Chain A
Amino acid sequence: MSQQSPQEQEPPNRFQKFLLKIWENLDFLGKALMGDLWRTVYLSIQDAIALGVLLQLPSFVGRIIIGKDFSSFDVCLKENAWGVARYACFIIVASDFCLWIILAGRILGRFWTELSELRRGNRNGSG
């Protein structure tokens, strides 16, 4: 379990306090605008940004260094078997593929949770 007893929790440092303040105000504003749906929207946007940074970065770097645009696994096999480009291609295509799998999966997962919550008759269902 991930619980921590109060004794184990460290007090937030200055940077964490600053972040907490930003998030607190952002949460307040978001809730005022969208209600309970706000959290789902926020988390989906955060996912999209994080995945963009995590998984589009290899493709961007590859485009700059190798100078090629890889779009499918077939293209990778046309590259030299001993060359870096072939393996870079596999990683780039796999990460592009991964991005859509994770994004779609997480949105569906949250939708699933909300749906089961609604079915349970919780008035707080944000859907």
Chain B
Amino acid sequence: MVQVNRKEVSLYKEAKAGLSSLIKQTGQVFAGLILMLILTRGNPPGWIVASSFFIGIAFVAWSENKRTTKRIGSADLSGADLSDETNETKLDEKWHKVWEIVNQPEANRNLSGANLSGANLSSANLRSADLRSANLSNANLITANLSNANLSNANLSGADLSSAELLATNLTNADLSNAKVRNACFRDNLGIPESLKSNLIARGAIFEDFPQVPTPV
């Protein structure tokens, strides 16, 4: 996945991201070494120094691997050209789907059971989409249009639905835990019990069909 990302991201951006992660990792490893020195009162035995060395390397390798593989998840695929069959760029199925949603907007898309976790779908047109049991955890759905979509049993935990449009959306058994719903617009939704409705309103959601309680002056 990272190769695709490298083709999408300019060297300038990659160099910048590399430097900031380098500083972060240096800080973490340095803090670990200082802690090790404090715990051993400045006189660490050889085996502790050796273990710190190998643990440090393993931590940095893990962190770097995580960063380089994860970057595609936050990559903005809008405008990316994947139409050329001879293009060396090869995305796995998940990111192809994301690319299609972002760049080939169409209503009534069938995405039932799709894994779209962590995807950048901001401003995506998912109108009337079939998203039953889809995994949209931690996805970026800012200002997305989810009107008339079927999100029953979908996982929206941690998703960012700020300012999204969810008019007549079916949310039966959808998991909205930790989802950001500030200014998300709800109306005529199926499967939202009153308790969840109040909870969503408290989190900043707007229910057009729910009488808003005027705040006392």
Measured in the bound complex, the distance between the Cα atoms of B44 and A91 in whole Å is 14
For B74, the chain A residues whose CB sits under 8 A away are 1-3
Q: Is the CB of B22 within 8 A of A109?
A: no
Q: Is the CB of A105 within 8 A of B22?
A: no
For B18, the chain A residues whose CB sits under 8 A away are 43, 46-47
Q: Contacting B68 at CB < 8 Å: which of A30, A36, A42, A110?
A: A110
Q: Contacting A27 at CB < 8 Å: which of B11, B53, B62?
A: B11
Q: Is the CB of B3 within 8 A of A122?
A: yes
B contact residues, total (Cβ < 8 Å): 56
Is B114 positioned at the interface, with any CB of A under 8 Å from its CB?
no
For B89, the chain A residues whose CB sits under 8 A away are 124
Q: Is the CB of B53 within 8 A of A47?
A: no
Is A61 positioned at the interface, with any CB of B under 8 Å from its CB?
no
Chain B stretch 1-18: residues in CB contact (< 8 A) with chain A: 1-4, 6-7, 10-12, 14-15, 18
For B2, the chain A residues whose CB sits under 8 A away are 113-114, 117
Measured in the bound complex, the distance between the Cα atoms of B44 and A77 in whole Å is 11
A interface, size bucket: 35 or more
Where the two chains meet, the residues of B that have a C-beta atom closer than 8 Å to any C-beta of A are 1-4, 6-7, 10-12, 14-15, 18-19, 22-23, 25-26, 29-30, 33-34, 37, 42-44, 49, 52-53, 56-65, 67-69, 74, 76, 88-90, 92, 118, 120, 122-123, 138, 140, 142-143, 160
Is A26 positioned at the interface, with any CB of B under 8 Å from its CB?
yes
Q: What are 18 A-B residue pairs whose CB atoms fall within 8 Å in the complex?
A: A1-B74, A1-B138, A23-B11, A24-B11, A42-B15, A47-B18, A50-B19, A51-B26, A55-B26, A73-B44, A76-B42, A94-B30, A97-B33, A98-B33, A109-B61, A109-B65, A117-B3, A124-B7
Nearest 10 CB-CB pairings of A with B: A105-B60, A109-B64, A124-B3, A101-B56, A27-B11, A23-B12, A109-B61, A108-B61, A109-B65, A113-B68
- Give 1 or 0 for each of A21-63: 1 = CB within 8 Å of chain B CB: 0011011001000001001001100110011001100000000
Q: How far is the CB of B95 from chain A (nearest CB, A)?
A: 12
For B88, the chain A residues whose CB sits under 8 A away are 123-124
